[in-house]
Structure 1
Amino acid sequence: MPKFKLEYIWLDGYTPVPNLRGKTQIKEFESFPTLEELPMWSFDGSSTQQADGHNSDCLLKPVAVYPDTTRNNGVLVMCEVLLPDGTPHPTNARAEIPDDEGTWFGFEQEYFLVEEGRPLGFPKGGYPNPQGEYYTGVGYKNVGDVARQIVEEHLDLCLDAGINHEGINAEVAKGQWEFQIFGKGSKKAADDVWMARYLLMRLCESYGVDVDWHCKPLKGDWNGSGMHANFSTTFMRESGGKAYFEKLMEAFAKNKEEHIAAYGPDNHMRLTGLHETASIDTFSYGVADRGCSIRIPHSFVNNDYKGYIEDRRPNSQGDPYAIAGRILKTIQEVPTA
């Protein structure tokens, strides 16, 4: 039987932002393994801030599997972290998301590519031209060459892995890019975002480039990085209605602080009311308004308030598991009957 290289990937216990971790084991299978065939594994939690040294074993539970075309017989295995008794580890935000096939998420992941502490394209000891021409830009002066190559290779790796990657574009600031991930089911998109992040960071190793996920790496008059969360439920798509929508917005307004706490650290640096953001201190919504907390597409209003809406507050370094879980918790507060 062929031997497969299984890369088990998980989130560590660092705060306020967890890091991706990964290690490889070799197993024989008759063909590419299914999720059900993948064994549990363990790791030293004392080295990842998830256990004490005198009782350091943590468990890895496979929850999603992807082909890895960068390796012969490569397999990428997204895992949840469990305690030795098999219960979810306190750092395991994925386990807290209710399973719901009817909940769909789409995440717009922004990030900066950085070399020697500077975004790609920034001159040494200075700044490029002010932002304006970089968004969806083309040409060396706007996007360079290495960045485009990295972004295109990353797109291919994601598609090869079966990640539901829906698009890429250069973003507003120099050296800033975005990819979009969509998934049906309450956990699918978040799984895919973490795996896409992993693939991008691993790819960048070969270029001597880092990925800066921070939501405001450039101070001053430069765009920050978000991870806008588009979401819908079966009820929102099939029934909806203005009355339900207004109750949903009341629930989001009531839970403003809880949402901000779950949407990623340092958001006060990004949600300033400038650069197409709402102030962190307010909650607002509007049709096609990118300066609101929640943007309502014209298609949603024109379809009798049915479809998806977009929360623009989650930031680029946020945990998509925590974001999805917080949004779902608020949705569940609103009766549908």
Structure 2
Amino acid sequence: MSLLSDLVNLNLSDSTEKVIAEYIWIGGSGMDMRSKARTVSGPVSDPSKLPKWNYDGSSTKQAPGEDSEVILYPQAIFRDPFRRGNNILVICDAYTPAGEPIPTNKRCAAAKIFIHPDVFAEEPWYGIEQEYTLLQKDVKWPLGWPLGGYPGPQGPYYCGVGVDKAFGRDIVDAHYKACLYAGVNISGINGEVMPGQVKKCRVSSSFYLR
């Protein structure tokens, strides 16, 4: 192994109580993810024990340049499948310094519904399906498609098996395992109708809304 690989896989728990917390939030487009890391003094399992943090919202299209500070409120913690050990992923939402949710903070409105007594007394369940397409390295063309061409007719690929039908299976399985390691409640995966297309189903009980 190279020195870089050794450092990437370095287990901090062997030498320090310190933990890397990766704060994650949704950017101004509503589609892009943003993150920044900070060191905390020891293992944390309750998001309320983590400090709030800030970022430059003018760089994420979430605040004007003359008043750019946005505050991150930790809302949920997941185990970090990349750094592993006691390191964590921290799902956050964003507020103005005055404590008002910024316009792209959709979780806040949803949380108000979920904490209403009539809703809180129930056990809400909902399903979220995530679909994505794997692209060939260095070209913007789906995995399993001939470069510049098209695959065979739809049919063999849906829930298919075999190297000529289930493309990128190692990547898909790695993603699946990383989510389960982190504590994301994924109910299953399957190949979709197009080569290189994958669907993951997550079943969640109110996720981090309450």
Give the TM-score band, short-chain normalised: 0.7 to 0.9
Report deviation, 1:35.
1.4
Matched, 1:34 2:46: yes
Root mean square deviation of aligned Cα = 1.5
Deviation readout 1:203-226 (Å, 9 max, x if unpaired): xxxxxxxxxxxxxxxxxxxxxxxx
The whole-number CA distance in structure 1 between the counterparts of 2:195 and 2:172 is 14
The whole-number CA distance in structure 1 between the counterparts of 2:106 and 2:44 is 28
Structure 1 residue identity aligned to 2:21:
L
Report deviation, 1:33.
3.5
Partner residue of 2:11?
none
Report deviation, 1:73.
2.9
The whole-number CA distance in structure 2 between the counterparts of 1:69 and 1:52 is 35
Partner residue of 1:129?
152
Partner residue of 1:174?
195
Partner residue of 2:37?
24
Aligned length: 183
SS of the aligned residue for 1:50 comes to coil
* 4+ aligned runs moved over 4 Å, structure 1: none
Report deviation, 1:119.
0.9
Structure 1 residue identity aligned to 2:78:
Y
Unaligned stretches of 5+ residues in structure 2:
1-15
Report deviation, 1:131.
1.2
Matched, 1:9 2:9: no
Superposition TM-score, scaled by structure 2 size: 0.83
Q: How does 1:51-90 map to 2 (within 5 A)?
A: 51-71=63-83, 72-90=85-103
Deviation readout 1:316-335 (Å, 9 max, x if unpaired): xxxxx9xxxxxxxxxxxxxx
The whole-number CA distance in structure 2 between the counterparts of 1:117 and 1:69 is 27
The whole-number CA distance in structure 1 between the counterparts of 2:177 and 2:63 is 37
Q: How does 1:301-316 map to 2 (within 5 A)?
A: none
The whole-number CA distance in structure 1 between the counterparts of 2:199 and 2:143 is 14
Task: Give me the identity figure in percent.
Answer: 41
More helix by share: 1
Which one of the candidate residues 49, 58, 79 is aligned to 1:46? 58
Change over 3 Å in CA distance of 1:108–1:18 after alignment to 2 = closer
Structure 1 residue identity aligned to 2:54:
S
Unaligned stretches of 5+ residues in structure 1:
192-320, 322-337
The whole-number CA distance in structure 1 between the counterparts of 2:125 and 2:78 is 20
Matched, 1:159 2:159: no
Contact 2:25 2:35 in 1 (8 A): yes
